[in-house]
Amino acid sequence: MTSERVPPGISAAVPNVARMYDYYLGGKDNFEVDRQAAEKVLAIIPEVEGDARNSRAFLQRAVRHLRELGVDQFLDIGSGLPTAGHVHEVIDGANVVYVDNDPVVLTHSRALLGHSPGVTVQEGDLREPEEVMARAAQVLDLERPIALLVVSLMHFITDEENPADLLRRYRELLPAGSYLVLTHVAPDTMPKEADEVSNVYQRASSPFTTRRRAVFEGFLDGFDLLEPGIVNTREWRPDPDTARSQVKGDYHLCAVGIKRR
């Protein structure tokens, strides 16, 4: 995309974190301002690109595993731009609801995915659990297990927005047997230059907050963790193919948990 083709109501003056992530993944749905900000990040920590790819690979392995366990409803909040390897592309026979609050994400997702079987794109914000789940109920059966996907998103929720309480509210709204797929950037996994990266994101559409493992564990209260528990993304159930494709850079903690009751 170029600034000359910016749709009405969309700003190309401020770097957008979803479009920066798209750039890290090799996508083309980003503006010059996003590329410049992303390149500043990569100049500080070049492995951030690999971290984004490893996070996406974890998401793909997690949803495949849950599909094998019989889950056929997936709610992906903060789904981002429909870059290659989106959830519906790696599983079959399931309903997938993509939720995002970014106008560019919504425009492109609806244009590219609007006719994909089993796929629905909805506007929504992680910070509004009741509204998100009410809209999802138009498509998903809230009497049966759902896989809630919150990947590469929570570090853009500030402490003032009470991320632990947001996830608690989602847990209470999910039916028993549902799963949470969660990641978060942790400071103890990142190089000392992490603060410089945070400074770049301070000038983007969302600030960037790292949180330590103990905080991440608290986000998973009420969920029983699947093996191997809380690990870095490359360590979660790697298979030979993904092990060969993994690249340097792994700053996300991840886990998959089930709500028993």
Query: Alpha-carbon distance 106 to 111, whole Å?
Result: 8
The pLDDT of 133-158, averaged and rounded, is 96
d(CA 180, CA 130): 16
Please say if the pLDDT value at position 238 is more than 50.
yes
228 vs 218: CA distance, rounded Å: 17
Is 90 exceeded by the pLDDT of residue 13? no
Most confident of 13-27, 79-93, 119-133: 119-133
CA–CA gap between residue 160 and residue 177 (Å, rounded): 30
Rounded to whole angstroms, how far apart are CA atoms 80 and 22? 8
- Say what percent of the chain tops pLDDT 70: 93
The pairing of strands 73-77 and 147-150 is: parallel
Give the list of residues 6+ apart from residue 35 with CB closer than 8 angstroms, or none: 23
**19 and 30 in contact (C-beta within 8 Å)?**
yes
Backbone torsions φ then ψ of 151, nearest 5 degrees: -115, 130
Q: Is the pLDDT of residue 7 over 80?
A: no
What count of residues does the chain have?
A: 261
Q: In this predicted structure, what is the pLDDT of residue 244?
A: 58
Q: How far apart are CA 35 and CA 20, in angstroms?
A: 7
Angle CA(78)–CA(117)–CA(144) in degrees, nearest 5? 65
Q: What single-letter DSSP state applies at residue 4?
A: G
Quote the pLDDT of residue 254.
Answer: 98
Q: Per residue in 162-209, pLDDT tens?
A: 999 999 999 999 999 999 999 999 988 888 888 899 999 999 988 889
Q: Which residues contact 225 (CB under 8 A, 6 or more apart)?
A: 255, 256, 257
Would you state the pLDDT for residue 2?
Answer: 45
Q: What is the CATH number of domain 45-258?
A: 3.40.50.150
Helices (H), strands (E): how many in the chain? 10, 8
Mind listing the pLDDT tens digit for each residue in 24-54? 998 888 889 999 999 999 999 999 999 999 9
- Residue 223 pLDDT grade (very low, low, confident, very high; cuts 50, 70, 90): very high
Residues 6+ apart with CB under 8 A from 7: 103, 104, 107
DSSP classification of residue 226 = P
**pTM here?**
0.91
Top pLDDT among 230 and 243 is at: 230
- Confidence label for 102 from pLDDT (cuts 50, 70 and 90): confident
> 231 or 110, which is more confident?
231
Using pLDDT thresholds of 50, 70 and 90, give the confidence band for residue 4: very low
